[in-house]
Every structure is written in structure tokens, then in C-alpha cells.
Structure 1
Amino acid sequence: MVLPEFQGRGLAKRGARTLLERARDEDRWGVVHAFPATGNGASNGICRSLGFRFVAEREVTFAGRVLRSNHWAIDPRTDLAPA
């Protein structure tokens, strides 16, 4: 999560890209999954722009609440979009 006063500067996308690049370069992870809320346009946009594939809309339980989320997946070794 990026604090409101720092949103809109590309920090979340840069941070996610850095982690995915490191995972790719170190061959540390396989497929990475993301579950942003369906109404969170910014987070879904980050997933789309980095090369995540949309899997499905689903309900995810987090902190005792059921949230409607989009399920995205990426294999950083093969799917990470160019910077």
C-alpha cells in the first residue's frame, strides 16, 4: 500500500517491477499471484502493465472479510513486460 500523499507517482509499479525483476534474476519464485480489489483501478492497471495475465474474478478472505478481487498471475522469468 502506498500512503495517499505519495500515490500517483509510480512508486507501487516501480516497487512491484523491482521485486519481479529480482525474482527473475535470482530464479527465486515461480508464478506470482496478485489479488487487487475489483474496484481498485490503479492496482489492476499495474498488474496489466507489468504483464500479469488475468485469471478470474474471485472472492478472497482477508483479515476476516470477504473481498471481491481480480486474480492475476505472472511468471517473471517469461512474462515480465519490458521496462
Structure 2
Amino acid sequence: MAEVHIEPWADGDRWLLDRANTPEMTDHLGRPETIDELDQRHAKYLRYWQSGEARMFRIVRGDEPLGGIGWWSSRWGEVDVHETGWFVLPEAQGRGVASAAVQLVIGDARSRAEHDLLIACPEVGNVASNALCARSGFTLRGTEELPFRGTTLHTNVWGLDLRG
């Protein structure tokens, strides 16, 4: 079986956002996005590559795109950090795809990051993403209420020292 790799988000990757925009896939994110919101997010991902603000990738096994992942600058409390987030299409879940992609993004962030801490903020009830953070070397730093898509998410804040 081909190894998972990440490739820069490209213009042709918009369909991945559509596939991830179902009630089941957005259950821990408040709600699905509107078409306009998806268009804006896709344009933002493309712009990030041009501006260097963030690094957004499609997750690929062989030549099959299976999701998206990235990292960007953020603030956590009074600290400048980098934050990561991901999604894997349903047919690829539970097959190590997200684990491999998170390790690749950690490596990418370690080689390019300006800040020492990488955080991930999955919703408290997102068992799979919280377990992935623990398996990937992140340490639970606390919980936080985050406004997102018109609601407030109760999230765990996981941190990983990028110097280590």
C-alpha cells in the first residue's frame, strides 16, 4: 500500500471541502459551511501559500486525495503559537491516514515554524481527534471555549513543543 504524503493545497482541491462538509463530518465543528464559506476557505488556503501566512496541504495516499491538513499562526492566551487542524474523508478514516499526516505536518512545522508551540483544539467530544493528539505526542494543556461557525465549541487544547 502506498505511503501517505502531503502536497500543497491547489486550485483543484476545492472538491475536498465539499466532501468534508456533511453533517457527520462537521458534527464537532458546529455546522456545515455554506457554499460561500467553502469558496472563501478554499481561496484563503490558496492565498496562504502565496503569502506564506500558513501552510495548507491535501493528504494523499498514492495519487488519491483523502483529506486536508495544515498549520498557521495563532494566539493561545498571551502566547504566539502555531495551530494545526485536519480532516480525513470517511472512506479513509481508521486506516492511519490522519496519524501519518499529523506526523508530516509536525515535521513541516518543526522545519519552518517561527513559534515554539504547535497546538490542536479538537472539540472535547471528538474522541478520534483527541486520541490522535495523544498518540502524536501532544500534551493536554487545558480546555477552552472557542467561538466557531456561529456557536461556541468546548475544546481540548493540546500542545506539542516544536523544539523537541
TM-score normalised by the chain length of structure 1 = 0.83
- Point out the structure with max Rg over C-alpha: 2
Q: Counterpart of 1:14 in structure 2: which amino acid? A: A
CA RMSD of aligned residues (A): 1.3
Structure 2 residue aligned with 1:49: 135
In 1, Cα distance between the equivalents of 2:106 and 2:124?
22
Percent sequence identity is 38
Moved over 3 A (4+): none
Kindly indicate whether the alpha-carbon contact (under 8 Å) linking 1:27 and 1:77 is maintained by their aligned counterparts in 2.
no
Indicate which of 108, 111, 115 corresponds to 1:22: 108
Q: Which has the higher contact order (CA 8 A, sep 6+)?
A: 1
Q: Which has the higher strand share?
A: 2
Q: Deviations over 1:14-57 (max 9, x none)?
A: 11110101222x24242111100111111001110111110112
Structure 2 residue aligned with 1:39: 125
Indicate which of 60, 63, 74 corresponds to 2:149: 63
In 1, Cα distance between the equivalents of 2:163 and 2:112?
7
> Runs of 5+ in structure 1 lacking a partner?
79-83
> Runs of 5+ in structure 2 lacking a partner?
1-86
Structure 1 residue aligned with 2:12: none
Task: Figure out how many residues of one structure are paired with residues of the other and give that number.
Answer: 77
TM-score normalised by the chain length of structure 2 = 0.44
Q: Deviations over 1:32-83 (max 9, x none)?
A: 11100111111001110111110112211112210111011111321xxxxx
